[in-house]
Amino acid sequence: MLSKAVLKALNEQINHEMYSSYLYLSMAAWCEAKNFPGFAQWMKLQSSEETKHAMKLYEFIHDRGSAVTLLAIDQPATEFKSPAKMFELALEHERKISALITKLYELAGKENDYPTQVMLQWFITEQVEEEKTAVGIVEQFKMVGESPVSLLMLDRQLGARSNA
């Protein structure tokens, strides 16, 4: 059974992961409206991945004999200045999620909840990958600038992302 503090924090993290999914889906919708199908595809896959993260936490809570409490999900932004600014926001968001997971890991340590710490190791590793990917994309935007041809090429490149 999870301690009250860890359970509360895990339920809050489910909410953060679902918000992440909503945020990326909102970004995908914006990209679709701006005729960037590749960026939209990338963001839809990212949204799906964030939902899977929430479900991983959901299952863990149940596996530990506790109950999930779902919280209201805030509405994400719906307008973005440019694709580059949108990906900068995504990077900033991933860094925020990394910090939240680190706090959760620290809390589990204080509560002597080693199974939760072990599970959160997966999330820590995942966040390193998420940040690395986002940094790489932001850096590519910095290299290519806002030229239409460059944006179309980057749109095509990111659209090739697979679900693997």
Q: Could you tell me the CATH superfamily of domain 4-159?
A: Ferritin, core subunit, four-helix bundle (1.20.1260.10)
Q: Tell me which residue of 46, 94, 121 sits closest to 113, measured CA to CA.
A: 121
Give the pLDDT band of residue 161 (cuts 50, 70, 90). Answer: confident
Long-range contacts of 36-39 (CB under 8 A, 24+ apart): 36/83, 36/151, 36/155, 37/155, 37/159, 38/154, 38/155, 38/156, 38/157, 38/158, 38/159, 38/160, 39/83, 39/86, 39/155, 39/158, 39/159
Tell me the pLDDT tens digit for each residue of 45-86.
Answer: 999 999 999 999 999 999 999 999 999 999 999 999 999 999
> Average model confidence (pLDDT) for the chain?
97
Tell me the pLDDT tens digit for each residue of 84-115.
Answer: 999 999 999 999 999 999 999 999 999 999 99
pLDDT of residue 164: 52
What residue segments make up the domains of the chain, in order of their start? 4-159
- Name the one residue in this structure whose structure tokens are 């806002």: 146
